[in-house]
Structure 1
């Protein structure tokens, strides 16, 4: 364990672009890959890196996230060894406002961080999918005698417009930084590649506290690391970029921002390829999560002589507690406690926990939120205009999203079904 390091995970993101999946939960709490939540990846990285002094800063609709962490993560920390995992909601100890930016979120919790007297503070975003050993970044920070080290990866020029763009010299010392520029500066000798901030920071603790206090007094500051803190210190202090070192052990580095419905859908679909880009089966770098005590998945009605009533799943992930009862699943991610009834069909879709697909229903290229019941004979994803008229969200790439708040009472379908429960689970 890195006893001189405190890790702060920023997990208060509203995730507006991921609506309606974020209407009742914070973005880091959105389910991913069947079994997981988005935040499980950064927290697994932290534990696998030997970081066991964690503060998770929440803000927006945090009940689901708080419950997930309390039930699934506290078992990995031992207070007697100086380890802790604290979920910290906004306390307004310094300011009566909500967090105004990433730097302000840390500043408003400065006393919580300072009381453990860390030598280094690692700051992480809780809403990205990747594998990384943060200890190697901390070692690099020490080696370079840096005040701040910024995790960085190479992205194409168009994607760079959504990042902080770094200009670094041959020693990786940062000489320029622009947050989400309209015209990103490319790498030397490259026409379409940029060096981008991952939102991962290693600070020398005392330096961090000084900069946060200074920034808090700036009336025109947005109190954000990318917009304010980093640009204000690169000329006067030792600020370095740390190139992303992927622990995924694949041909290409894997890092995903799942901030939109289409990006989220594609990242999930990556997992069902024969050789998925993201390796969830690596025992040397496990991704942990809450694992409820559930029976194994069950597939029934394959031997009654009716070829159309056969419980099967191909090229899919099926989680515990699920019963595929005479339905067919193809290229989909099926979470726990799902039931797919006879003659139903699910293709290229993501079903969250507790979903029930009625008899003869057909679902294609859809994301269905927790506890939603799709009525018998209903079709989702086959007529996008009809889905829009029903009030469902349809992404720019044609992915239909049904949230727990959507009504499935549609007279034009001849269906009368009560809306699903809004209980947070």
Structure 2
């Protein structure tokens, strides 16, 4: 894989994830307590033997850049030709922001060419899955392909949100439609379509030619799915490569956590007895930044007072968290979280540094980093009241409290128990 360069697209706004993306790029949003979304594609690449990476950023990239420096720099040795370089928009070619996925790569074509790769692997930085890219690159070379696309089987209803492919018996593409209203199903199952995962392997020289040609077209969106791939099918060797899931469960796991509800459901799956995503797999580890924090602590469990007990059931609790007489159920508790006496948190996600005051009640709430919930506060039980307080409330009733939110106590704390 030394002659392969990996380009990771991590510049999307993530507007459907607001307010979680109000101060950070979508790939930098925390996931599963310890991780960031970007950690999954980076772990896949590293586990696949890819050690030359360009991470293309754009919007609100400071948090993402800091995370890369803390979590990922030590895995690469520049003296051995290994690197992970965060590349903000250079505007070397024009003064515009990236106009599409293909334009993002085109505007960094000089940085890519300077590495002289044989093949370029292009990945999206905002999906949750486990995959070894090495067999895909080997397939690409064996078939003499110009482009190879990662392919996922999805339902016809889901396929409306993807690029949909049709292939022959050799997996060579015969058709491609970007987000069709009436997706074409596979020959073997009328209810299933073959969807593009946004994972591409390009012959480097072919990629440069296509990007330069596309950049001159005024009628192009400068996007791989909308323009580059459909134009290449007729005269070039474009193949699909079936998704090989390293998660090693019965059903393939791939998630686009692009909305608040999708993000919440993917996190909540992790607290199940047998979650679909296996984070405890030593065969395919997911790496991230591990801060130097003490173990989680649970206190006030031996007083005989059943209402004041630090406990967590069916939950993930990260290092540095203290459950000081408060209880948690079916939730994800991030690093350095404090849950005080008589508080109860259920079906919720608490980011790093959140403090939950005494006698609070939280249900189906996502609380962003560093927010302090005053004592006696109740959130997640009355959607209308939560919306009136300025919180984001989804159609399903999920409440999101943004980073930097200043909450006022709704009631006077019980002084006898303070």
**Alpha-carbon distance in structure 1 between the residues aligned to 2:180 and 2:365:** 33
C-alpha deviation, 1:414, in angstroms:
4.5
Aligned twin of 1:78: 77
C-alpha deviation, 1:189, in angstroms:
4.0
Aligned twin of 2:200: 201
Aligned twin of 1:51: 50
Aligned twin of 1:420: none
Secondary structure of the residue aligned to 1:100 is coil
C-alpha deviation, 1:363, in angstroms:
0.4
Cα RMSD (Å) of the superposition?
Answer: 1.1
**Alpha-carbon distance in structure 2 between the residues aligned to 1:381 and 1:373:** 16
Aligned twin of 2:122: 123
**Alpha-carbon distance in structure 2 between the residues aligned to 1:189 and 1:39:** 34
**Alpha-carbon distance in structure 2 between the residues aligned to 1:129 and 1:191:** 27
Instruction: Give deviations 1:144-165, integer Å, cap 9, x for gaps.
Output: 1100000010111111111001
Aligned twin of 1:235: 234
> Do residues 313 (structure 1) and 329 (structure 2) align?
no
TM-score, structure 2 length as denominator?
0.97
**Alpha-carbon distance in structure 2 between the residues aligned to 1:303 and 1:189:** 61
Aligned twin of 1:286: 285
C-alpha deviation, 1:306, in angstroms:
1.4
Map 1:162-173 → 2, pairs under 5 A: 162-173=161-172
Instruction: Give deviations 1:84-103, integer Å, cap 9, x for gaps.
Output: 11000001001110000000
Aligned twin of 2:398: 399
Secondary structure of the residue aligned to 1:153 is strand
Aligned twin of 1:104: 103
Instruction: Give deviations 1:230-274, integer Å, cap 9, x for gaps.
Output: 000100000000010000000110000000011000000111111
Aligned twin of 2:66: 67
TM-score, structure 1 length as denominator?
0.96
Aligned twin of 2:189: 190
Instruction: Give deviations 1:153-180, integer Å, cap 9, x for gaps.
Output: 0111111111001111111101111111
**Alpha-carbon distance in structure 2 between the residues aligned to 1:395 and 1:224:** 30
Instruction: Give deviations 1:45-70, integer Å, cap 9, x for gaps.
Output: 00000000000000010000000001
Aligned twin of 1:364: 363
Stretches of structure 1 lacking an aligned partner (at least 5 in a row): 417-425
**Alpha-carbon distance in structure 2 between the residues aligned to 1:405 and 1:225:** 37
**Alpha-carbon distance in structure 2 between the residues aligned to 1:408 and 1:319:** 24
**Alpha-carbon distance in structure 2 between the residues aligned to 1:15 and 1:166:** 25
> Do residues 155 (structure 1) and 154 (structure 2) align?
yes
**Alpha-carbon distance in structure 2 between the residues aligned to 1:32 and 1:95:** 35
Stretches of structure 2 lacking an aligned partner (at least 5 in a row): 414-418
C-alpha deviation, 1:398, in angstroms:
1.4
Aligned twin of 2:2: 3
Secondary structure of the residue aligned to 2:60 is coil
Aligned twin of 2:90: 91
Instruction: Give deviations 1:188-223, integer Å, cap 9, x for gaps.
Output: 142321100000000000000000000000111010
Question: Is the contact made by 1:409 and 1:415 (CA closer than 8 Å) also made in structure 2?
Answer: no
Aligned twin of 1:352: 351
Aligned residues: 413
Instruction: Give deviations 1:71-112, integer Å, cap 9, x for gaps.
Output: 110000011111011000001001110000000000000000
Aligned twin of 1:323: 322
Instruction: Give deviations 1:284-339, integer Å, cap 9, x for gaps.
Output: 10000011100000000011221111000011000000000000000000110000
**Alpha-carbon distance in structure 2 between the residues aligned to 1:241 and 1:319:** 39
Secondary structure of the residue aligned to 2:403 is coil
Question: Is the contact made by 2:370 and 2:404 (CA closer than 8 Å) also made in structure 1?
Answer: no
C-alpha deviation, 1:395, in angstroms:
1.2
Greater shift in the superposed pair: 357-366 or 400-409: 400-409
Question: Is the contact made by 1:104 and 1:223 (CA closer than 8 Å) also made in structure 2?
Answer: yes
Aligned twin of 1:266: 265
C-alpha deviation, 1:407, in angstroms:
3.8
Secondary structure of the residue aligned to 2:135 is helix
C-alpha deviation, 1:405, in angstroms:
4.2
Describe the shift of the 1:214–1:415 C-alpha distance in structure 2 as closer, same or farther (beyond 3 A): farther
Question: Is the contact made by 1:186 and 1:195 (CA closer than 8 Å) also made in structure 2?
Answer: yes
**Alpha-carbon distance in structure 2 between the residues aligned to 1:341 and 1:25:** 28
C-alpha deviation, 1:402, in angstroms:
0.5
Describe the shift of the 1:195–1:415 C-alpha distance in structure 2 as closer, same or farther (beyond 3 A): farther
Question: Is the contact made by 1:391 and 1:406 (CA closer than 8 Å) also made in structure 2?
Answer: no
**Alpha-carbon distance in structure 2 between the residues aligned to 1:406 and 1:156:** 39
